[in-house]
Copies of this chain bind each other. A is one copy, B any other.
Amino acid sequence: MAEKKLVEAITSMDVDFAQWYTDVVKKAELIDYTSVKGCMVIKPAGYAIWELIQKQLDDRFKATGVENVYLPMFIPESLLQKEKDHVEGFAPEVAWVTHGGLQPLQEKLCVRPTSETLFCDFYKNDIHSYRDLPKVYNQWCSVVRWEKETRPFLRSREFLWQEGHTAHATAEDAEARTIQMLNVYADFCEQVLAMPVIKGRKTDKEKFAGAEATYTIEALMHDGKALQSGTSHNFGDGFAKAFGIQFTDKDNTLKYVHQTSWGMTTRLIGAIIMVHGDNSGLVLPPLVAPTQVMVIPIQQHKEGVLDKAYELRDRLSNFRVKVDDSDKSPGWKFSEQEMRGIPLRVEIGPKDIAAGKCVICRRDTGEKYEVALEELEAKVAELLPTIQRDMLEKARAHRDSHTYVATTLDELTQVFTEKTGFVKAMWCGDQACEDKIKEDLAVTSRCMPFEQETLSDKCVCCGRPAKKMVYWGKAY
């Protein structure tokens, strides 16, 4: 009974996906709400996932020459206002500091919603010559955007992220870095988070405030909605001109730098939940599972059982492994391990010990294996990468089976009335068509994918000649 209760407390994902999500986030102890409206506590189980994301993403950054820095969390109002599009995009949603200590400030400061303006202010003094380029800096920090509606990990007033900000001598170098980082993101999502993504470019309507071009990776959640999972922006020399960031080039002439920025956030944890989770709770890809293997002793009060469990744990020390030696029942422990998304559980009881074996159970498929004790390490070493691979393939199959095609506005309307998923459609490039589809169907253009197809030669909306294929979807 006790075991059942833990699971029954979760809403079924088919009944109410939003409630299922909230239930998992709470029951898997990833977050807690706080007295600060719109802000959350990231609890140990959630933060440990973030640490694994950080470590593996940061290693990939550094392999491409990225250096980490830390810039202030405050931006003076005058600095935020230097780039016109940028301030228009962000001013409505920033938090303002007006008093320091007991004194009113001479100039109010916003808490950074993103740090383009601060990096520009810094680069202006730090870059003088072509020898100083490129600058490929990144910071891990928190940012604040005063959102009206919030959801754990997906949209909160404060969130954690990394923001890369680079400066280059030429437009080509900036574009190459923009695409390079998008590829790092896409590869990270697929290889580490087991989450397939569509790479593409945002339409001008959807691009970042102040950017020349915004590239994105878009993932499909289990409920068919789209999640923007990482973005990479090419600013051209727009910010450089607004902030006066110039360098002396090899030919001894003064030139403006070309800049990029790119970011990923704790939103990725929301993506992991919504791509891989099921009605028993979280399902974690092994590479971001804080505990990869949970050893659960059966009849642990019997002599030798706990000792054997600890012995198995010690033998598995190449992995992230724990023993659940609490005084709960095995069934309760199974449910907890499932709720928390731990990839493998190892069951060991008196009968197993007598037979020289144990039972290994996969979280992603529920498959069970009887394994001779001497083969334990080898079996775990084989299963973890198998799970990682299978989870990616399962997510890819789900994404592909929820990707549709529409060649007319009627078809587009019908698909979005009946289904939720990605819809591919041709577009003339005119924002009026994009606006109309968004208003009529309550969906947004996700991106113009790098892998273009010719579904028809006409715009899905107006029938004029098509220029691009676009992915459409309902956004988180």
Contact = CB atoms under 8 A, between A and B. Distances in A.
Interface stretch (A89-97, A174-182, A184-192, A407-415): A89-97
A76 to B, nearest CB: 6
Interface stretch (A33-41, A335-343, A388-396): A33-41
Given A32-B125, A35-B79, A122-B41, A158 B72 contact: yes
B72 A43 contact: no
Contact of A74 (B39, B68, B71, B137): B39
A383 B344 CA distance: 44
Contacts of A142: 70, 73, 141-142
Contact of A146 (B68, B101, B160): B101
B36 A72 contact: yes
Contact of A36 (B70, B76, B157): B76
A11 B84 CA distance: 43
Contacts of A122: 32, 34, 41
A75 B39 CA distance: 11
Which of A39, A67, A70, A98 is packed against the most chain B CB atoms within 10 Å?
Answer: A70
A237 to B, nearest CB: 21
Contact of A68 (B39, B44, B96, B157): B44
Nearest to A124: B35
Contacts of A121: 34-35
Nearest to A160: B70
A272 to B, nearest CB: 17
Given A35-B121, A36-B74, A96 B94 contact: no
A41 B70 contact: yes
Given A32-B122, A158-B73, A100 B47 contact: no
B67 A42 contact: no
B42 A69 contact: yes
Indicate how many identical chains form the complex.
2
B42 A70 contact: yes
Which of A34, A79, A146 is packed against the most chain B CB atoms within 10 Å?
Answer: A34
Interface in A54-93: 67-76, 79, 92-93
A121 B32 CA distance: 11
B99 A96 contact: yes
A212 interface: no
Nearest to A290: B67
A44 B73 contact: no
A111 B125 contact: no
A72 B42 CA distance: 9
A138 to B, nearest CB: 10
B70 A34 contact: no
A100 B92 contact: no
B111 A72 contact: no
Contacts of A102: 92
Nearest to A157: B100
Interface string A103-127: 0000001010000001001100110
B126 A32 contact: yes
A144 interface: yes
A32 B135 CA distance: 15
A69 B92 contact: no
A28 interface: no
Contacts of A67: 44, 47-48
A51 interface: yes
A157 B73 CA distance: 10
A471 B271 CA distance: 54
A101 B147 CA distance: 8
B96 A69 contact: no
A135 to B, nearest CB: 9
A29 to B, nearest CB: 9
A128 to B, nearest CB: 13
Contact of A72 (B39, B71, B94, B109): B39
A139 to B, nearest CB: 8
A169 to B, nearest CB: 17
Contacts of A109: 36, 95
12 contacts: A35-B76, A39-B74, A47-B68, A48-B68, A51-B68, A70-B142, A73-B111, A73-B142, A74-B158, A94-B101, A95-B97, A95-B101
